[in-house]
């Protein structure tokens, strides 16, 4: 392809010494070009600058290209751009703001195929006559402009229409609960979650989550609401909070008593952790994306759960997003926010991008994005790289971040029904359980948490009054305290707008031991009445007495006596038999388990053989199976 030249040296000669000192952008370009191969730099100089047969080593190529592309004014850049072919101009205009350049958008400037070779990337190449030495192949449908070139030229090219970050004029999603409600429930939930580490391994909890029964129990004691739409996709607010705390709340016993200060520490550990190769906190912090955010993706065998021991680029991306949210009090569309940051060249990876591309994939029968069916790889899976990476990887992980900050009160969120582009086993599904997130807004509490203001917002003051009846097991309650209202729901039955009736069955609800019953009574004293009336003390004593009545049980074997003449008279009249068995209704006898040997001897004495089925069933021990 013929390329116009502008102030170029004679072909084959080395250019004269560079005329100016590199700007910071030029120095960054030189550093970025050092990641490319010499043959790539040579092709770049030939196609982008029209310079052939240059003889440099890698450092010389990087320095030379940096000087040639380090423009001092818009006029210099326009002169450079006008010397390019229409195809090259189109590639630069798209590639500077979008990582992937769709091949179909280049067809009008180059009707012939731009990529030749086999079906898979390793055997494909860009046709040399296209003059696209500044690009590499992204996937079967796109090219990629080298990132150093894109970063260098982006300030000089006009941005797309959706480049600016601005609030939506009218929110369309369904809002979640107010921040005050979240913070009050969060304080109770963190107390409950702190007790999980004695019974659950952190890695298992972070990776698998909680059992439904435990989630139900935690919700009854904390009151943290469910996500209205995300909950239908398998995303539970309490489970996500527990998985988040498994990675970042490593020492709950040292957490400040003030919930706001505790949240600020958690968010700091999330956005700016202190990386230490030998500290376990660094390991759990870096494992968050692998264990929690990628539930919708699978890993190739042998790839494992790798960590990088550095602040992931994806969390730096989130920090920039929070900075953008802090500039306005409005609601922002999540998709537009992510796209705008990606156009600015902000990287979104939690590992090395090549490692992510290799190890992660999406399972399914078919996948349709932007009206185009996505092809599967050699193994029949959908890869996370290529121009659909933002849909399959970036947006789900970013939404997982936002949901995590929402349950901490930092973000307010709105949900909407997601698209279902994936077909798996005959079912149409969203790409991830986080896809319902539509819009976000930084709360006033969140501004204080991330350091955008020194003024901490006032928290809704708890106001409540509990009156315990001295004669009846009835409690009158007024106020807005979530903790007190949840406790009343757990021990009583509401009989009016402000009245609760307590019964033996309702007070013991959820208790399985006498110790738990004592703890329930202690909470009654701390929350409702420090000095309960005599009627309530007698009630507690009765409950404790009844709880211990059937704590111990004896094991018996029950036999039905066959209709043999004289057999029932034998057990009714023989003194030894009367000591060994108990008579049971329906012509049966009960033999204590610890007296089975004596009972068998008694049977043998009177000519009866004890069958093998008469053995006491014993629970098999772990290890070798019983024969």
Q: What is the 3-state secondary structure (H, E, C) of 281-329?
A: HHHHHHCHHHHHHCCCCEECCCCCCCCCCCCCHHHHHHHHHHHHHCCCC
Rounded Cα gap, residues 141 and 389, in angstroms:
12
| 509: number of Cβ within 10 Å | 15
The SS3 of residue 584 is strand
Q: Are residues 374 and 476 in the same domain?
A: no
Burial call 293-323: b when 16+ CB within 10 Å, e when fewer: bbbbbeeeeeeeeebeeebbbbbbbbeebbe
Q: Which of 386, 420, 449 is the endpoint of a domain?
A: 449
Rounded Cα gap, residues 414 and 411, in angstroms:
10
Beta-bridge partner residues of 466: 477
Q: Give the pLDDT confidence score for residue 281 in this predicted structure.
A: 60
Q: Are residues 368 and 219 in the same domain?
A: yes
From residue 483, how far is each of 263, 462, 520 by CA, in Å?
A: 19, 10, 14
Within-domain flag for 626: no
Residue partners of 96: CB distance under 8 A and separation at least 6: 145, 150, 153, 154, 157
Q: What are 51's two structure tokens?
A: 């310079």
Locate tokens 């429930």: which residue? 185
Within-domain flag for 475: yes
CA 122, 128, 134, 139 torsion-angle sign? negative
Rounded Cα gap, residues 310 and 274, in angstroms:
9
Burial grade of 527 (CB within 10 A; 0-12, 13-18, 19 or more): middle
Q: Are residues 526 and 385 in the same domain?
A: no
- Give the count of domains, the chain: 4
Burial call 248-276: b when 16+ CB within 10 Å, e when fewer: bbbeeeebeeebbebbbbbbebbbebeee
Rounded Cα gap, residues 108 and 89, in angstroms:
13
Q: Give the pLDDT confidence score for residue 148 in this predicted structure.
A: 94
Q: Are residues 109 and 201 in the same domain?
A: no
Locate tokens 């702190």: which residue? 194
| 433: number of Cβ within 10 Å | 23
Q: Is 0.95 topped by the overall pTM?
A: no
Residue partners of 82: CB distance under 8 A and separation at least 6: 4
Within-domain flag for 404: yes
Q: Which of 449, 481, 504 is the endpoint of a domain?
A: 449
Closest CA to 61 of 36, 82, 80, 79: 36
From residue 194, how far is each of 24, 133, 245, 253 by CA, in Å?
A: 48, 56, 9, 8
CA 426 distance to own-chain centroid: 26
Q: Are residues 181 and 270 in the same domain?
A: yes
Ranges of residues in the chain whose predicted pLDDT is under 70: 1-20, 118-123, 197-200, 273-282, 302-309, 551, 610-627
Within-domain flag for 385: yes
Radius of gyration, CA atoms only, the chain: 35
Q: Are residues 96 and 152 in the same domain?
A: yes
CA 274, 277, 281, 282 torsion-angle sign? positive
Task: State the DSSP H helix or E strand holding residue 355, giving kind and residue range, or none if neither.
Answer: helix 353-359
Q: Which of 121, 156, 191 is the endpoint of a domain?
A: 156
Within-domain flag for 224: yes
CB 145 within 8 A of CB 134: yes
CB 402 within 8 A of CB 440: yes
Q: Are residues 304 and 444 in the same domain?
A: yes
Read off the DSSP letter of residue 106.
G
Locate tokens 């929402």: which residue? 406
Residue partners of 160: CB distance under 8 A and separation at least 6: 97, 343
Q: Are residues 296 and 397 in the same domain?
A: yes
Q: Give the pLDDT confidence score for residue 10 in this predicted structure.
A: 33
Within-domain flag for 108: yes
The SS3 of residue 136 is strand
Estimate the crossing angle of helix 259-271 against helix 179-194, to 10 degrees.
Answer: 80
Rounded Cα gap, residues 91 and 10, in angstroms:
27
Closest CA to 29 of 141, 152, 209, 138: 152
Q: Give the pLDDT confidence score for residue 199 in this predicted structure.
A: 59
- Reported for 100-103, long-range contacts at CB under 8 A and 24+ positions apart, including other chains, are 100/138, 100/139, 100/142, 100/143, 100/144, 100/386, 100/387, 100/389, 101/135, 101/138, 101/142, 101/143, 101/144, 101/145, 102/141, 102/142, 102/387, 103/141, 103/142, 103/143
Enclosing domain of residue 49: 24-156
C-alpha dihedral, 571 to 573 to 577 to 578, nearest 10°: 100
Rounded Cα gap, residues 47 and 52, in angstroms:
9
The strand ranges marked E within 462-537 are 464-468, 474-479, 493-494, 499-501
Q: Give the pLDDT confidence score for residue 200 in this predicted structure.
A: 65
Strands 115-117 and 124-126: antiparallel
Q: Are residues 360 and 483 in the same domain?
A: no
Q: Are residues 236 and 113 in the same domain?
A: no
From residue 115, how far is each of 94, 100, 145, 240, 319 by CA, in Å?
A: 18, 14, 15, 44, 38
Q: Are residues 70 and 132 in the same domain?
A: yes
Within-domain flag for 316: yes
Closest CA to 345 of 152, 202, 528, 166: 152
Q: Are residues 59 and 131 in the same domain?
A: yes
CA 94 distance to own-chain centroid: 32
Within-domain flag for 299: yes
């Amino acid at each position: 392809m013929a390329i116009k030249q502008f102030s170029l040296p004679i072909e084959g000669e080395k250019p004269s010494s560079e005329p100016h000192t590199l700007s910071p952008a030029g120095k960054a370009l030189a550093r970025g070009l050092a990641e490319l191969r010499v043959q790539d730099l040579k092709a770049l100089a030939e196609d982008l600058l029209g310079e052939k047969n240059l003889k440099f080593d890698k450092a010389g190529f990087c320095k030379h290209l940096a000087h040639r592309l380090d423009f001092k004014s818009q006029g210099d850049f326009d002169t450079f751009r006008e010397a390019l072919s229409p195809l090259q101009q189109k590639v630069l205009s798209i590639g500077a703001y979008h990582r992937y350049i769709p091949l179909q958008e280049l067809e009008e400037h180059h009707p012939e195929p731009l990529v030749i070779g086999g079906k898979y990337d390793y055997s494909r190449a860009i046709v040399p006559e296209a003059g696209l030495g500044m690009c590499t192949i992204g996937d079967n449908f796109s090219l990629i402009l080298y990132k150093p070139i894109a970063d260098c030229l982006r300030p000089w090219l006009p941005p797309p229409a959706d480049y600016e970050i601005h609030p939506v004029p009218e929110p369309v999603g369904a809002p979640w609960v107010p921040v005050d409600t979240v913070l009050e429930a969060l304080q109770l939930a963190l107390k409950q979650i702190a007790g999980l580490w004695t019974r659950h391994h952190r890695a298992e909890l972070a990776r698998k989550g909680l059992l439904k029964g435990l989630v139900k129990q935690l919700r009854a004691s904390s009151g943290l609401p469910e996500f209205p739409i995300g909950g239908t996709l398998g995303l539970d607010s309490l489970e996500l909070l527990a998985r988040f705390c498994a990675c970042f709340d490593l020492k709950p016993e040292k957490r400040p008593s003030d919930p706001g200060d505790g949240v600020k520490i958690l968010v700091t550990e999330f956005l700016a952790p202190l990386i230490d190769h030998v500290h376990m906190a660094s390991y759990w912090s870096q494992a968050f994306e692998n264990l929690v955010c990628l539930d919708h993706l699978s890993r190739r065998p042998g790839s494992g759960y790798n960590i990088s021991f550095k602040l992931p680029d994806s969390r730096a991306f989130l920090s920039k997003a929070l900075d953008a949210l802090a500039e306005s009090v409005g609601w922002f569309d999540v998709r537009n926010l992510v796209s705008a940051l990606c156009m600015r060249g902000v990287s979104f990876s939690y590992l090395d991008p090549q490692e992510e591309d290799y190890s992660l994939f999406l399972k399914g029968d078919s996948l349709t994005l932007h009206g185009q069916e996505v092809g599967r790889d050699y193994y029949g899976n959908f890869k996370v790289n290529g121009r659909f990476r933002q849909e399959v990887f970036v947006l789900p992980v970013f939404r997982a971040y936002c949901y995590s900050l929402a349950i901490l009160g930092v973000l307010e969120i709105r949900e909407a029904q997601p698209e279902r582009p994936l077909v798996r086993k005959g079912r149409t599904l969203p790409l991830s359980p986080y896809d319902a997130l539509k819009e976000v807004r930084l709360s006033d509490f969140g501004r204080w948490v991330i350091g955008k203001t020194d003024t901490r917002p006032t928290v809704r003051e708890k106001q409540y009054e509990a009156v315990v009846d001295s004669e009846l097991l009835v409690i009158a309650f007024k106020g807005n305290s979530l903790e007190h209202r949840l406790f009343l729901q757990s021990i009583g039955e509401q009989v009016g707008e402000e009245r609760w009736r307590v019964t033996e069955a309702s007070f013991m609800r959820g208790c399985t031991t006498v110790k738990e019953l004592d703890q329930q009574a202690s909470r009654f004293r701390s929350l409702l009445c420090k000095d309960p009336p005599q009627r309530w003390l007698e009630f507690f004593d009765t409950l404790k007495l009844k709880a211990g009545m059937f704590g111990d049980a004896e094991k018996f074997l029950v036999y039905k006596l066959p209709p043999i003449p004289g057999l029932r008279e034998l057990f009714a009249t023989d003194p030894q038999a009367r000591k060994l068995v108990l008579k049971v209704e329906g012509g049966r006898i009960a033999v204590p388990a610890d007296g089975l040997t004596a009972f068998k001897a008694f049977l043998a004495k009177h000519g009866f053989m004890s069958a093998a089925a008469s053995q006491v069933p014993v629970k098999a021990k772990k290890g070798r199976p019983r024969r």
